[in-house]
Amino acid sequence: SAVISQKPSRDICQRGTSLTIQCQVDSQVTMMFWYRQQPGQSLTLIATANQGSEATYESGFVIDKFPISRPNLTFSTLTVSNMSPEDSSIYLCSVRNGHGGYTFGSGTRLTVV
Protein backbone atom coordinates (compact mmCIF):
# COMPACT_ATOMS: atom_id res chain seq x y z
CA SER A 1 0.00 0.00 0.00
CA ALA A 2 1.05 3.59 -0.60
CA VAL A 3 2.47 5.60 2.27
CA ILE A 4 1.54 9.27 2.58
CA SER A 5 3.48 11.90 4.44
CA GLN A 6 1.24 14.86 5.31
CA LYS A 7 2.50 18.14 6.73
CA PRO A 8 1.97 20.01 8.96
CA SER A 9 0.30 17.77 11.50
CA ARG A 10 -1.30 20.75 13.19
CA ASP A 11 -1.26 24.50 13.11
CA ILE A 12 -2.88 27.46 14.78
CA CYS A 13 -3.43 30.34 12.38
CA GLN A 14 -4.71 33.87 12.53
CA ARG A 15 -7.90 34.67 10.68
CA GLY A 16 -7.34 36.18 7.27
CA THR A 17 -4.14 34.25 6.65
CA SER A 18 -3.54 31.17 4.49
CA LEU A 19 -2.12 27.73 5.22
CA THR A 20 -0.71 25.28 2.71
CA ILE A 21 -0.91 21.57 3.48
CA GLN A 22 1.37 19.14 1.70
CA CYS A 23 0.98 15.47 0.90
CA GLN A 24 3.84 13.38 -0.43
CA VAL A 25 3.14 9.84 -1.63
CA ASP A 26 5.83 7.18 -1.90
CA SER A 27 4.51 5.97 -5.25
CA GLN A 28 2.94 7.47 -8.33
CA VAL A 29 -0.81 7.86 -8.18
CA THR A 30 -3.26 9.29 -10.69
CA MET A 31 -5.78 10.81 -8.31
CA MET A 32 -5.39 12.41 -4.93
CA PHE A 33 -8.39 13.28 -2.83
CA TRP A 34 -8.66 16.07 -0.29
CA TYR A 35 -11.17 15.80 2.55
CA ARG A 36 -12.31 18.07 5.35
CA GLN A 37 -13.45 16.73 8.68
CA GLN A 38 -15.14 19.36 10.80
CA PRO A 39 -15.14 18.86 14.58
CA GLY A 40 -17.12 15.75 15.49
CA GLN A 41 -18.20 15.22 11.91
CA SER A 42 -17.55 12.82 9.08
CA LEU A 43 -15.23 13.34 6.13
CA THR A 44 -16.41 15.51 3.27
CA LEU A 45 -14.66 15.51 -0.08
CA ILE A 46 -13.27 18.92 -1.02
CA ALA A 47 -11.78 18.10 -4.39
CA THR A 48 -10.04 15.51 -6.53
CA ALA A 49 -6.61 16.42 -7.84
CA ASN A 50 -5.30 14.95 -11.07
CA GLN A 51 -1.80 15.58 -12.30
CA GLY A 52 -1.70 17.95 -15.23
CA SER A 53 -5.26 19.22 -14.99
CA GLU A 54 -7.41 21.44 -12.83
CA ALA A 55 -8.73 19.91 -9.66
CA THR A 56 -12.39 18.95 -9.60
CA TYR A 57 -14.23 20.61 -6.70
CA GLU A 58 -17.30 19.34 -4.94
CA SER A 59 -20.37 21.44 -4.39
CA GLY A 60 -19.74 24.05 -1.73
CA PHE A 61 -16.00 24.23 -2.28
CA VAL A 62 -14.35 26.71 -4.63
CA ILE A 63 -10.89 27.07 -6.06
CA ASP A 64 -10.37 30.57 -4.71
CA LYS A 65 -10.83 29.33 -1.16
CA PHE A 66 -9.10 25.95 -1.54
CA PRO A 67 -6.53 26.16 -4.34
CA ILE A 68 -4.87 22.84 -5.08
CA SER A 69 -1.64 22.09 -6.84
CA ARG A 70 -0.62 18.76 -8.33
CA PRO A 71 2.78 19.26 -9.95
CA ASN A 72 3.59 15.57 -10.30
CA LEU A 73 2.23 12.09 -9.59
CA THR A 74 3.57 11.91 -6.04
CA PHE A 75 2.80 15.32 -4.57
CA SER A 76 -0.10 17.68 -3.95
CA THR A 77 -0.85 20.74 -1.87
CA LEU A 78 -4.09 22.17 -0.56
CA THR A 79 -4.20 25.80 0.54
CA VAL A 80 -6.86 27.09 2.87
CA SER A 81 -7.09 30.78 2.00
CA ASN A 82 -8.32 33.80 3.90
CA MET A 83 -9.11 31.65 6.88
CA SER A 84 -11.93 32.16 9.35
CA PRO A 85 -12.74 30.20 12.52
CA GLU A 86 -15.23 28.15 10.49
CA ASP A 87 -12.27 26.64 8.64
CA SER A 88 -11.05 24.98 11.83
CA SER A 89 -11.08 21.31 10.87
CA ILE A 90 -8.95 18.31 10.16
CA TYR A 91 -7.83 18.15 6.56
CA LEU A 92 -6.82 14.81 5.07
CA CYS A 93 -5.43 13.70 1.76
CA SER A 94 -6.04 10.24 0.36
CA VAL A 95 -5.08 8.04 -2.56
CA ARG A 96 -6.33 4.75 -3.87
CA ASN A 97 -3.92 1.96 -3.15
CA GLY A 98 -3.34 -1.11 -5.26
CA HIS A 99 -5.60 -3.35 -3.24
CA GLY A 100 -8.98 -1.73 -3.79
CA GLY A 101 -8.74 0.39 -0.69
CA TYR A 102 -7.59 3.86 0.17
CA THR A 103 -4.65 5.20 2.12
CA PHE A 104 -4.95 8.40 4.10
CA GLY A 105 -2.45 10.92 5.30
CA SER A 106 -2.21 11.45 9.03
CA GLY A 107 -4.27 14.61 8.82
CA THR A 108 -3.69 18.29 9.55
CA ARG A 109 -5.53 19.72 12.51
CA LEU A 110 -6.14 23.39 11.75
CA THR A 111 -7.31 25.87 14.35
CA VAL A 112 -8.13 29.40 13.24
CA VAL A 113 -8.17 32.06 15.93
User: How far apart, in whole angstroms, are the C-alpha atoms of residue 112 and residue 96?
Assistant: 30
Strand arrangement, sheet containing 75-80? 4-7, 19-25, 75-80, 68-72
x/- contact string, 30-59, with another protein (CB under 8 A)? -x-x---x---xxxxx--x-------x---
Distance CA 9, CA 100 (A): 26
Q: Binding of another protein at residue 28 (CB under 8 A)?
A: no
Q: Which is nearer to another protein, 75 or 104 (CB)?
A: 104
Using CB under 8 A as the criterion, which residues of the chain lie in contact with another protein when the complex forms? Answer: 31, 33, 37, 41-45, 48, 56, 90, 92, 94, 96, 100-102, 104, 106-107, 109
